[in-house]
Protein backbone atom coordinates (compact mmCIF):
# COMPACT_ATOMS: atom_id res chain seq x y z
CA UNK A 1 0.00 0.00 0.00
CA UNK A 2 2.86 2.39 0.84
CA UNK A 3 4.47 1.71 -2.55
CA UNK A 4 1.20 2.49 -4.37
CA UNK A 5 0.89 5.73 -2.39
CA UNK A 6 4.51 6.70 -3.25
CA UNK A 7 3.87 5.99 -6.94
CA UNK A 8 0.87 8.31 -6.92
CA UNK A 9 2.86 10.99 -5.09
CA UNK A 10 5.70 10.74 -7.59
CA UNK A 11 3.30 11.10 -10.52
CA UNK A 12 1.67 14.11 -8.87
CA UNK A 13 4.98 15.79 -8.02
CA UNK A 14 6.69 15.14 -11.37
CA UNK A 15 3.76 16.05 -13.56
CA UNK A 16 5.69 17.57 -16.46
CA UNK A 17 8.50 16.70 -18.84
CA UNK A 18 10.39 19.80 -17.73
CA UNK A 19 10.57 18.58 -14.13
CA UNK A 20 11.86 15.18 -15.26
CA UNK A 21 14.49 16.88 -17.44
CA UNK A 22 15.55 19.18 -14.64
CA UNK A 23 15.83 16.31 -12.15
CA UNK A 24 17.82 14.28 -14.66
CA UNK A 25 20.29 17.13 -15.04
CA UNK A 26 20.57 17.74 -11.29
CA UNK A 27 21.03 14.04 -10.51
CA UNK A 28 23.74 13.67 -13.17
CA UNK A 29 25.44 17.05 -12.72
CA UNK A 30 24.78 18.32 -9.18
CA UNK A 31 25.85 21.85 -8.34
CA UNK A 32 24.76 23.64 -11.51
CA UNK A 33 23.13 27.05 -11.54
CA UNK A 34 19.53 27.47 -12.63
CA UNK A 35 20.57 29.25 -15.82
CA UNK A 36 22.98 26.44 -16.72
CA UNK A 37 20.21 23.90 -16.07
CA UNK A 38 17.89 25.91 -18.36
CA UNK A 39 20.55 25.94 -21.08
CA UNK A 40 21.18 22.19 -20.82
CA UNK A 41 17.46 21.44 -20.81
CA UNK A 42 16.96 23.63 -23.86
CA UNK A 43 14.24 25.57 -22.09
CA UNK A 44 13.60 29.17 -21.15
CA UNK A 45 14.67 30.50 -17.77
CA UNK A 46 11.18 31.29 -16.41
CA UNK A 47 9.67 27.78 -16.72
CA UNK A 48 12.88 26.26 -15.36
CA UNK A 49 12.89 28.68 -12.43
CA UNK A 50 9.26 27.80 -11.66
CA UNK A 51 10.01 24.06 -11.82
CA UNK A 52 13.12 24.48 -9.64
CA UNK A 53 11.08 26.37 -7.04
CA UNK A 54 8.41 23.66 -7.07
CA UNK A 55 10.97 20.85 -6.79
CA UNK A 56 12.67 22.68 -3.89
CA UNK A 57 9.29 23.25 -2.23
CA UNK A 58 8.60 19.50 -2.50
CA UNK A 59 12.10 18.83 -1.04
CA UNK A 60 13.26 16.69 -3.99
CA UNK A 61 16.16 19.11 -4.48
CA UNK A 62 17.79 21.90 -2.50
CA UNK A 63 19.75 24.96 -3.44
CA UNK A 64 22.79 26.76 -2.09
CA UNK A 65 24.01 30.25 -2.76
CA UNK A 66 27.29 30.34 -4.70
CA UNK A 67 28.40 33.85 -5.53
CA UNK A 68 25.43 35.63 -7.08
CA UNK A 69 23.72 32.43 -8.24
CA UNK A 70 21.97 29.50 -6.66
CA UNK A 71 23.21 26.00 -7.42
CA UNK A 72 21.03 22.90 -7.12
CA UNK A 73 21.55 19.43 -5.65
CA UNK A 74 19.42 16.30 -5.20
CA UNK A 75 18.06 15.87 -1.68
CA UNK A 76 19.61 12.58 -0.61
CA UNK A 77 17.39 12.50 2.49
CA UNK A 78 14.13 12.45 0.50
CA UNK A 79 12.32 9.11 0.56
CA UNK A 80 12.19 9.05 -3.27
CA UNK A 81 15.92 9.76 -3.70
CA UNK A 82 17.01 6.08 -4.00
CA UNK A 83 14.26 5.36 -6.51
CA UNK A 84 15.08 8.39 -8.67
CA UNK A 85 18.85 7.79 -8.44
CA UNK A 86 18.39 4.20 -9.57
CA UNK A 87 15.97 5.23 -12.36
CA UNK A 88 18.29 7.88 -13.79
CA UNK A 89 21.27 5.55 -13.42
CA UNK A 90 19.54 2.75 -15.32
CA UNK A 91 18.88 5.01 -18.30
CA UNK A 92 22.54 4.65 -19.33
CA UNK A 93 22.17 0.87 -19.48
CA UNK A 94 18.99 1.27 -21.50
CA UNK A 95 20.71 3.53 -24.03
CA UNK A 96 23.70 1.18 -24.31
CA UNK A 97 21.34 -1.71 -25.01
CA UNK A 98 19.49 0.41 -27.58
CA UNK A 99 22.74 1.21 -29.38
CA UNK A 100 23.71 -2.46 -29.49
CA UNK A 101 20.30 -3.42 -30.87
CA UNK A 102 20.31 -0.71 -33.55
CA UNK A 103 23.85 -1.57 -34.58
CA UNK A 104 22.99 -5.27 -34.90
CA UNK A 105 19.86 -4.55 -36.96
CA UNK A 106 21.74 -2.18 -39.29
CA UNK A 107 24.45 -4.80 -39.79
CA UNK A 108 21.89 -7.53 -40.53
CA UNK A 109 19.83 -5.48 -42.98
CA UNK A 110 22.43 -3.25 -44.64
CA UNK A 111 25.80 -4.82 -43.79
CA UNK A 112 26.80 -1.49 -42.26
CA UNK A 113 27.69 -0.59 -38.70
CA UNK A 114 26.54 2.51 -36.94
CA UNK A 115 29.38 4.90 -36.25
CA UNK A 116 27.89 6.08 -32.98
CA UNK A 117 24.93 7.36 -31.02
CA UNK A 118 24.54 10.29 -28.66
CA UNK A 119 21.63 10.96 -26.34
CA UNK A 120 20.99 14.51 -25.17
CA UNK A 121 18.00 15.71 -23.18
CA UNK A 122 16.13 16.67 -26.32
CA UNK A 123 17.59 14.60 -29.15
CA UNK A 124 18.78 11.10 -29.92
CA UNK A 125 21.45 11.23 -32.63
CA UNK A 126 22.34 8.13 -34.69
CA UNK A 127 25.58 8.62 -36.59
CA UNK A 128 25.71 6.58 -39.82
CA UNK A 129 28.74 5.88 -42.03
CA UNK A 130 27.20 7.65 -45.03
CA UNK A 131 24.09 9.47 -46.18
CA UNK A 132 22.13 6.33 -47.07
CA UNK A 133 18.46 7.22 -47.37
CA UNK A 134 17.45 3.57 -46.83
CA UNK A 135 19.49 3.23 -43.64
CA UNK A 136 18.07 6.52 -42.35
CA UNK A 137 14.48 5.39 -42.92
CA UNK A 138 15.24 1.98 -41.39
CA UNK A 139 16.70 3.50 -38.19
CA UNK A 140 13.85 6.00 -37.89
CA UNK A 141 11.36 3.12 -38.17
CA UNK A 142 13.24 1.06 -35.53
CA UNK A 143 13.23 4.02 -33.14
CA UNK A 144 9.55 4.68 -33.84
CA UNK A 145 8.69 1.03 -33.04
CA UNK A 146 10.52 1.37 -29.71
CA UNK A 147 8.44 4.47 -28.87
CA UNK A 148 11.46 6.77 -28.86
CA UNK A 149 10.13 9.24 -31.41
CA UNK A 150 7.68 10.37 -28.74
CA UNK A 151 10.44 10.86 -26.15
CA UNK A 152 13.13 12.49 -28.28
CA UNK A 153 13.70 14.33 -31.46
CA UNK A 154 15.48 11.70 -33.52
CA UNK A 155 18.19 12.72 -35.97
CA UNK A 156 20.12 10.37 -38.21
CA UNK A 157 23.35 12.12 -39.18
CA UNK A 158 25.95 10.92 -41.69
CA UNK A 159 29.47 10.78 -40.25
CA UNK A 160 31.01 13.08 -42.90
CA UNK A 161 28.77 15.92 -41.62
CA UNK A 162 29.83 15.21 -38.06
CA UNK A 163 33.51 15.05 -39.02
CA UNK A 164 33.31 18.43 -40.74
CA UNK A 165 31.27 19.76 -37.80
CA UNK A 166 28.52 20.84 -40.15
CA UNK A 167 25.94 19.73 -37.66
CA UNK A 168 24.21 21.72 -34.92
CA UNK A 169 26.69 22.36 -32.11
CA UNK A 170 24.43 20.62 -29.57
CA UNK A 171 25.84 17.34 -30.85
CA UNK A 172 29.26 18.40 -29.53
CA UNK A 173 28.35 20.62 -26.58
CA UNK A 174 25.25 19.14 -24.92
CA UNK A 175 25.84 16.66 -22.14
CA UNK A 176 24.73 13.12 -22.63
CA UNK A 177 26.09 9.64 -23.03
CA UNK A 178 27.76 8.61 -26.30
CA UNK A 179 28.08 5.09 -27.67
CA UNK A 180 30.12 3.54 -30.44
CA UNK A 181 33.26 5.16 -31.81
CA UNK A 182 34.62 8.03 -29.68
CA UNK A 183 33.90 10.96 -32.00
CA UNK A 184 32.54 13.55 -29.58
CATH number at residue 40: 1.10.10.10
pTM over 0.75: no
- Torsion region of 162: left, alpha or beta (phi above 0 gives left; psi -120 to 50 gives alpha): alpha
The DSSP code for 176 is -
Bridge partners for 179 per DSSP? 117
169 in a structural domain: yes
Domain boundary residue among 57, 79, 101? 79
Evaluate whether residue 84 is within a structural domain. no
Q: What does the pLDDT read at residue 3?
A: 56
What residues have CB less than 8 Å from 120, skipping those under 6 apart? 170, 171, 174, 175, 176
pLDDT confidence tier of residue 183, bands split at 50, 70 and 90: low
Question: What is the reported pLDDT for 33?
Answer: 95
- Residue 70: CA atoms inside 13 Å, Cβ hemisphere, count? 14
pLDDT for the residue numbered 43:
82
What is the overall mean pLDDT for the chain?
Answer: 83
The answer to whether residue 147 is domain-embedded is: yes
Model pLDDT, residue 127:
85
Amino acid sequence: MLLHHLNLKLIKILNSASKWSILYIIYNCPGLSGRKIAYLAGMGWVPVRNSLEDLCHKHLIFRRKRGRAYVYFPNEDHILYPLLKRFFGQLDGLYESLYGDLEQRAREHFRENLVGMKVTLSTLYCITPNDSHHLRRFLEECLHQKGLTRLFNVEVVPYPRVKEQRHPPELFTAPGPSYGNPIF
